[in-house]
C-alpha cells in the first residue's frame, strides 16, 4: 500500500518522461522539451517531501519540530555554558536529594516485610513511659496469662535476648547476642530457613536438645556462608547446641542477634526466677491475628486482659502507669525512623524548591536577554505555541541533563541516608536505589521543565515594540524584576529555614559535647568481660573478678582497676527502669509513689578509677561481702532529695520492688558520691544506688585507669584474662570518651545530614542572589554610565548594589522566619518533640545568610562601579 522511496522516484521520473515525450511529439526541440517539463513540474524535492508527509502520522511533524527545537536549544546552550552548567548542577542536587530520600522512605516506611502475611503480624509491648520504661518487656507468667485469656490472637511468639560466650565456630572465643525463643516463634513471625530447618514445638521444654539457628547476616559475614556449618556443635556459655539451620534474610527485630536458640540453651531461662517470678521481665512478645480479627479488636481484647492481669497481681506492678501497646510489626519497626525521614523528606523538598526557583531565575534572566531574538521570531510569524516550544525545548534539555546527573547522584546519596536512617530503623540497611528513583527523577524533571518554560514572558503581543531590542541590548521591565526578586527571596527564605534547623542541631550537639560528665573521660578504659553462665552470679565469678583486678593492677602503666556492671552510656537501658525504694524516716504521702533510683553494682575503688569524687562517708572495701552488713553508696541527688536536712551516711534504705522478694533487706548508706549520669549523654541529676559487688553478684565490666595510652594496654589485659580463663571473651575495649562519642554519633550524623542540606541550600541561594544582582547590574549598565557621567561616586554605586543584595536577603530571612515559625507550630501538632530553636542559632543563621548575600553581591557590585562611562553611553 504505502509506496517506498524507489516508487516515489520512479513515479516522478515517469511523469517527466511522459511530459517530455508529449512535447517532442508536438514538435519541440528535445532539450527545450526537457527544460519545459522540468519547469512545469516545479520543485521535485518539495513535491517528494509533501508526498512523504501524506504517509506520516500527524504527530510526526510535531516531533520533528520539537527535535529541531531541541537541536537548536543544544546549540544555544553550548553558547551559554556557564548558565547551562549551573542550572544542571542545581537541578541535579535537587532531584538527586529527593530521589534518594524518597527511596529510603519507601524502603523503610512503605515496603512490606518479607515475613509471611506480615499484615497479620503484631508486636505487643508493655511499658510505663511515666517512669522512664518505654519497654518493660514481659515475664513468663504474664505471657502465660495472656496466652490463656486472649482469643483474638492465633499464636504468640516470644523472644528474649541474652549474651553468650560462643566457642566452637573457629576463631577466638567471642561474645554474641542470641535470641532465646520458644518453638512457636518462627511460625508466628512467618519466616523460612534458607538452609536446614528452623525451630518448632519439639525444641521446647527442658528435655529437648540444645539447637540454634544462625541469622543470615552472621552466617554470611562471619562464616562466609559455609553450608557445612549445619550439624556443627557449638558451645554457648556453659551449654552446647547443634546448629540446625540458617534463617532467611529478614529484619532483625527486636534485636540484631547472631543466633536464635531454643530455651534449653540458656540456664537462666530454665531457672525458677525466669519461670515463676512475675516481675522478672525480659521477653518480647509477638502475635498473629486470628482470622477475621482486626488490629483494633485485638488491641481492645489484649488491653482488657492486661488490665485484669494487673488487677489479679497488683504487687507485681509498682507503677499505675503500666499499659499495653499493640501495633503491626511493620509500623513498630518503622516508627522511630518516621519522624526523622519525614523531616528529611521535607528538607529535600525545600532544597528542590530552592533549586527550582534558582533555575527559574537564571532562565528568566536568560529569556530577557533573548527578548530581542524572540521578538524577531514572533515578527516573522512564529506563533505563541512555537515560541513556548522553543523555551520548553531548552528547559527540557536542561532538566533532562539535571535528572540524569541527579539520578547518578542518588546512589551515593541513598548510601549516606540509608546508613544514617539505620540508626533509627534496621530496615534502612536493606535500602538500595530502586527503579522508583528513575520515575521520581523523571517526574521532578518534567515538572521543573514545564514550570520553567512558563516562567518567561513572551514578546508576541508587542512584537513590534520588541524589535528595537533585537540589536542585543535589553531592558528589564518592572514585572520581570519583581519576579526575579521573588525567586531570590524564596531561595533565601527556604535556605534560612534549613540553616536555622542545622544551626539548632549543631548547637545542641555542641552543648552536649561540652557538658561535663563527671568522669575521667580520657584515661579510663572500659572492657566487657561477661560472666560465663549468663546472668547467674556466684562465688567463683567474684573470685575470678578479684583475681583479674589484682593481676591487671600489677601491669605497668595501670593506676587503678575496678569492676562494675554498667559501662556509662553504652549499657544505657540494659537495666530497665529505675527501681522503687524506701528510706527510713521518709514516709511518702498516700498517693505518692515510692522514689525510684538506678541500681548499680561496683567493686571497691570504682569511684577512684572513674574519677568520681566521694563527697561523704567511705568507699566500699573488700570487707563488704555477702555475710556482712548490707551497705550501699548513694549519689548526691539522692542524698539531697531524701535527706535534705540531715546526713545521709548511716541511714538505711531498702528496695520495695517485688523483684527483690518479700523480705525487706535494710541497707546502710556508707558513702555519698558526686552525681554522674551514666544513662544519658546529656547529664542530668540522677538518683543512683551503688552496691558492693561481693554482696550482690556479677559485674561483667572492667574499668582500668591508665597513665599512658589506654589502648596500648588492651593486649596485656586480654592476655592476663585469658591466662585465668581461656574461654573468656574480652570485648569492646574503649575509653569513656570514645564510648560517649559512639553513643553521640546519631546526633552527630543528624547534624551532619541536615547541615549538608543547609550547605547545598546556601550554595544554591548564593548563586541565585549573585545571578539576580549580576543580571540587574548588566541591565543597568547604561543607567550607571549616566550616573557616573553626571558625577556620581563609584562607591555609592557599589554600596547601592550591595544594599540591594542585603535587602533581598533580609526579606528572605523575614519570610523564612515567619514561614519557619508557622511550620514549627504546625509540626508541633503532629510531633511531640519539636523544639523551636533558640535565639542564638537563629541569629547565626541570619548572619550567615546576610554574609553570603554580601559575598554574592560583591562581584556584580564591583562590576557596576567599574562601568566605563563612554562605553555604557554608546551602547544605548
Chain contacts with other proteins (rule: CB under 8 A): 1-3, 7, 10-12, 14-15, 17-19, 21-22, 40-43, 46-47, 50-51, 53-55
Closer to other proteins by CB, 23 or 280: give it.
23
Least gap, CB of 427 to other proteins (angstroms):
58
Asked, as a colleague might, if the bond just before 254 is cis with ω within 30 of 0, I would say yes
Least gap, CB of 23 to other proteins (angstroms):
11
Least gap, CB of 51 to other proteins (angstroms):
5
Closer to other proteins by CB, 47 or 621: give it.
47
Question: Cα(266)–Cα(211) distance, rounded to whole angstroms?
Answer: 11
Closer to other proteins by CB, 45 or 554: give it.
45
**Main-chain phi, psi angles of 326, to 5 degrees:** -125, 125
Least gap, CB of 2 to other proteins (angstroms):
8
Closer to other proteins by CB, 64 or 321: give it.
64
Question: Cα(245)–Cα(192) distance, rounded to whole angstroms?
Answer: 10
For the chain, the C-alpha Rg in angstroms (whole number) is 38
Closer to other proteins by CB, 47 or 473: give it.
47
Least gap, CB of 61 to other proteins (angstroms):
14
Closer to other proteins by CB, 7 or 296: give it.
7
Per DSSP (E only), the strands in 682-728 are 688-692, 701-706
Tell me the three state secondary structure of residue 205: coil
For the purposes of burial, counting CB atoms within 10 Å of the CB of 544, is it exposed (0-12), middle (13-18) or buried (19 or more)? buried
Closer to other proteins by CB, 43 or 554: give it.
43
Give the C-alpha distances (Å, rounded to integers) separating 409 from 91, 359, 850: 11, 18, 30
Cβ atoms 431, 414 nearer than 8 A: yes
Least gap, CB of 30 to other proteins (angstroms):
14
Least gap, CB of 866 to other proteins (angstroms):
59
Least gap, CB of 455 to other proteins (angstroms):
40
Closer to other proteins by CB, 39 or 514: give it.
39
Closer to other proteins by CB, 14 or 538: give it.
14
List helix spans (H) across 26-120: 30-41, 44-55, 58-79, 81-105
Segment (H or E) for 8: helix 5-25
Nearest partner of 445 among 90, 101, 810, judged by Cα = 90
Question: Cα(126)–Cα(145) distance, rounded to whole angstroms?
Answer: 14
Question: Cα(454)–Cα(444) distance, rounded to whole angstroms?
Answer: 16
Least gap, CB of 25 to other proteins (angstroms):
8
Residue 598 β-bridge partners: 688
Tell me the three state secondary structure of residue 297: helix
**Main-chain phi, psi angles of 532, to 5 degrees:** -65, -60
First to last CA, the chain: 62
**Main-chain phi, psi angles of 31, to 5 degrees:** -65, -45
Least gap, CB of 63 to other proteins (angstroms):
20
Query: How many helices (DSSP H) and strands (DSSP E) are in the chain?
Result: 27, 21
Closer to other proteins by CB, 26 or 224: give it.
26
Nearest partner of 41 among 10, 73, 17, judged by Cα = 17
Question: Cα(376)–Cα(271) distance, rounded to whole angstroms?
Answer: 93
Closer to other proteins by CB, 46 or 870: give it.
46
Tell me the three state secondary structure of residue 712: helix
Nearest partner of 350 among 823, 851, 750, judged by Cα = 823
Least gap, CB of 28 to other proteins (angstroms):
15
Cβ atoms 689, 596 nearer than 8 A: no
Least gap, CB of 38 to other proteins (angstroms):
11
Closer to other proteins by CB, 1 or 228: give it.
1
Assign residue 734 a region: left if phi > 0, alpha if psi is -120 to 50, beta otherwise? beta
Closer to other proteins by CB, 21 or 719: give it.
21
Least gap, CB of 67 to other proteins (angstroms):
23
Least gap, CB of 863 to other proteins (angstroms):
56
Packed helices 329-369 and 384-421: angle between N→C axes, nearest 10 degrees: 140
Least gap, CB of 114 to other proteins (angstroms):
56
Closer to other proteins by CB, 18 or 818: give it.
18
Please give the biggest Cα pair distance in the chain.
143
Give 725-792 as a DSSP string: -TT---EEEEEHHHHHHHHHHHHHHHHHHHHHHHHHHHHHHHHHHHHHHHHHHHHTHHHHHHHHHTT-
Closer to other proteins by CB, 38 or 510: give it.
38
**Sign of CA pseudo-dihedral 197, 199, 201, 205:** positive
Cβ atoms 119, 328 nearer than 8 A: yes
Least gap, CB of 767 to other proteins (angstroms):
52
Closer to other proteins by CB, 20 or 499: give it.
20
Question: Cα(578)–Cα(598) distance, rounded to whole angstroms?
Answer: 5
Least gap, CB of 50 to other proteins (angstroms):
4
Cβ atoms 490, 812 nearer than 8 A: yes
Contacts 24+ apart (CB under 8 A), 544-551: 544/724, 544/725, 545/603, 545/693, 545/699, 546/622, 547/724, 548/702, 548/720, 548/721, 548/724, 549/603, 549/702, 551/720, 551/723, 551/724
Closer to other proteins by CB, 17 or 300: give it.
17
Least gap, CB of 39 to other proteins (angstroms):
11
Closer to other proteins by CB, 45 or 479: give it.
45
Amino acid at each position: 500500500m504505502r509506496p517506498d522511496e524507489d516508487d516515489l522516484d520512479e513515479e516522478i521520473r515517469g511523469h517527466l518522461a511522459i511530459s517530455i515525450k508529449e512535447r517532442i511529439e508536438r514538435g519541440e526541440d528535445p532539450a527545450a522539451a526537457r527544460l519545459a517539463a522540468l519547469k512545469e513540474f516545479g520543485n521535485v524535492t518539495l513535491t517528494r517531501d509533501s508526498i512523504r508527509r501524506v504517509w506520516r502520522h500527524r504527530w510526526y511533524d510535531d516531533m520533528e519540530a520539537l527535535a529541531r527545537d531541541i537541536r537548536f536549544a543544544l546549540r544555544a546552550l553550548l553558547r551559554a555554558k556557564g548558565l547551562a552548567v549551573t542550572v544542571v548542577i542545581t537541578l541535579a542536587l535537587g532531584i538527586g536529594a529527593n530521589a534518594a530520600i524518597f527511596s529510603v522512605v519507601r524502603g523503610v516506611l512503605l515496603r512490606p516485610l518479607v515475613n509471611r502475611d506480615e499484615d497479620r503480624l503484631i508486636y505487643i509491648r508493655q511499658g510505663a513511659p511515666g517512669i522512664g520504661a518505654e519497654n518493660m518487656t514481659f515475664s513468663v507468667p504474664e505471657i502465660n496469662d495472656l496466652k490463656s485469656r486472649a482469643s483474638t490472637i492465633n499464636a504468640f511468639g516470644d523472644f528474649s535476648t541474652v549474651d553468650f560466650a560462643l566457642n566452637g565456630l573457629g576463631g577466638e572465643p567471642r561474645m554474641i547476642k542470641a535470641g532465646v525463643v520458644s518453638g512457636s516463634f518462627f511460625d508466628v513471625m512467618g519466616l523460612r530457613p534458607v538452609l536446614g530447618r528452623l525451630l518448632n514445638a519439639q525444641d521446647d521444654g527442658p528435655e529437648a536438645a540444645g539447637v540454634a539457628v544462625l541469622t543470615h547476616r552472621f552466617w554470611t559475614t562471619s562464616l562466609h556462608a559455609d553450608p557445612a556449618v549445619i550439624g556443627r556443635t557449638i558451645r554457648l556459655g556453659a551449654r552446647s547446641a547443634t546448629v540446625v539451620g540458617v534463617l532467611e534474610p529478614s529484619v532483625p527485630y527486636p534485636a540484631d542477634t547472631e543466633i536464635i536458640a531454643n530455651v534449653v540453651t540458656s540456664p537462666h531461662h530454665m531457672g525458677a526466677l525466669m519461670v515463676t517470678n512475675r516481675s522478672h521481665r525480659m521477653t518480647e512478645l509477638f502475635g498473629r491475628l486470628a482470622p477475621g480479627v482486626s488490629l483494633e479488636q485485638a488491641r481492645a481484647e489484649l488491653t482488657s486482659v492486661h488490665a485484669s492481669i494487673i488487677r489479679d497481681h497488683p504487687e507485681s506492678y509498682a507503677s499505675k502507669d503500666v499499659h499495653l501497646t499493640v501495633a503491626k510489626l511493620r509500623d513498630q519497626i518503622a516508627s522511630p525512623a518516621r519522624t526523622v525521614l519525614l523531616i528529611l523528606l521535607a528538607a529535600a523538598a525545600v532544597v528542590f524548591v530552592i533549586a527550582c526557583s534558582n533555575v527559574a531565575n537564571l532562565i528568566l534572566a536568560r529569556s530577557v536577554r533573548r527578548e530581542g531574538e524572540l521578538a524577531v521570531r514572533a515578527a516573522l510569524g512564529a506563533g505563541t505555541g512555537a515560541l513556548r516550544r522553543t523555551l520548553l525545548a531548552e528547559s527540557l534539555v536542561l532538566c533532562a541533563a539535571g535528572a540524569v546527573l541527579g539520578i547518578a547522584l542518588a546512589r551515593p546519596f541513598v548510601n549516606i541516608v540509608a546508613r544514617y536512617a539505620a540508626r533509627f530503623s534496621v530496615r534502612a540497611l536493606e535500602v538500595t536505589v530502586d527503579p522508583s528513583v528513575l520515575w521520581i527523577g523523571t517526574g521532578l524533571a518534567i515538572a521543573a521543565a514545564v514550570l520553567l518554560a512558563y516562567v518567561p514572558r513572551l514578546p508576541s503581543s508587542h512584537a513590534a515594540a520588541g524589535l528595537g531590542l533585537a540589536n542585543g541590548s535589553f531592558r528589564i521591565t518592572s514585572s520581570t524584576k519583581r519576579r526575579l526578586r521573588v525567586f531570590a527571596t524564596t531561595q533565601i527564605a527556604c535556605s534560612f529555614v534549613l540553616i536555622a534547623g542545622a544551626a539548632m542541631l549543631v548547637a545542641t550537639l555542641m552543648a552536649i559535647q561540652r557538658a561535663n560528665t563527671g568522669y575521667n573521660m580520657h584515661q579510663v578504659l572500659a572492657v566487657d568481660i561477661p560472666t560465663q553462665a549468663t546472668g547467674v552470679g556466684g562465688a567463683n565469678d567474684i573470685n575470678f573478678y578479684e583475681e583479674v583486678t589484682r593481676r591487671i593492677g600489677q601491669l605497668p602503666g595501670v593506676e587503678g582497676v575496678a569492676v562494675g556492671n554498667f559501662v556509662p552510656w553504652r549499657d544505657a537501658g540494659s537495666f530497665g527502669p529505675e527501681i522503687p525504694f524506701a528510706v527510713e524516716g521518709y514516709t511518702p504521702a498516700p498517693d505518692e509513689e515510692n522514689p525510684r533510683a538506678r541500681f548499680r553494682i561496683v567493686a571497691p575503688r570504682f569511684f577512684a578509677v572513674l574519677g568520681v569524687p566521694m563527697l561523704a562517708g567511705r568507699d566500699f572495701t573488700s570487707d563488704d561481702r555477702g555475710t556482712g552488713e548490707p551497705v550501699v553508696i548513694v549519689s548526691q541527688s539522692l542524698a539531697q532529695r531524701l535527706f535534705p536536712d540531715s546526713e545521709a551516711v548511716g541511714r538505711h534504705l531498702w528496695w520495695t520492688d517485688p523483684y527483690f522478694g518479700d523480705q525487706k533487706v535494710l541497707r546502710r548508706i556508707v558513702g555519698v558520691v558526686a552525681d554522674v549520669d551514666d544513662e544519658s549523654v546529656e547529664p542530668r541529676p540522677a538518683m543512683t544506688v551503688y552496691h558492693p559487688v561481693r554482696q550482690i553478684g556479677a559485674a561483667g565490666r572492667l574499668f582500668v585507669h591508665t597513665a599512658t595510652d589506654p589502648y596500648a594496654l588492651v593486649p596485656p589485659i586480654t592476655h592476663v584474662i585469658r591466662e585465668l580463663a581461656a574461654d573468656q571473651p574480652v570485648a569492646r575495649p574503649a575509653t569513656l570518651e570514645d564510648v560517649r562519642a559512639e553513643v553521640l554519633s546519631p546526633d552527630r550524623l543528624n547534624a551532619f545530614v541536615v547541615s549538608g542540606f543547609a550547605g547545598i541550600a546556601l550554595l544554591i541561594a548564593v548563586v541565585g542572589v549573585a545571578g539576580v544582582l549580576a543580571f540587574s547590574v548588566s541591565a543597568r549598565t547604561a543607567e550607571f554610565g549616566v550616573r557616573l557621567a553626571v558625577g556620581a561616586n563609584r562607591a555609592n554605586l557599589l554600596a547601592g548594589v550591595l544594599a540591594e543584595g542585603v535587602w533581598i536577603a533580609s526579606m528572605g530571612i523575614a519570610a523564612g522566619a515567619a514561614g519557619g515559625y508557622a511550620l514549627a507550630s504546625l509540626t508541633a501538632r503532629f510531633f511531640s518533640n519539636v523544639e523551636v530553636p533558640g535565639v542564638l542559632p537563629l541569629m547565626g543563621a541570619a548572619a550567615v545568610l546576610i554574609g553570603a548575600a554580601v559575598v554574592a553581591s560583591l562581584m556584580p557590585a564591583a562590576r557596576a562601579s567599574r562601568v566605563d562611562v563612554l562605553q555604557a553611553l554608546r551602547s544605548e
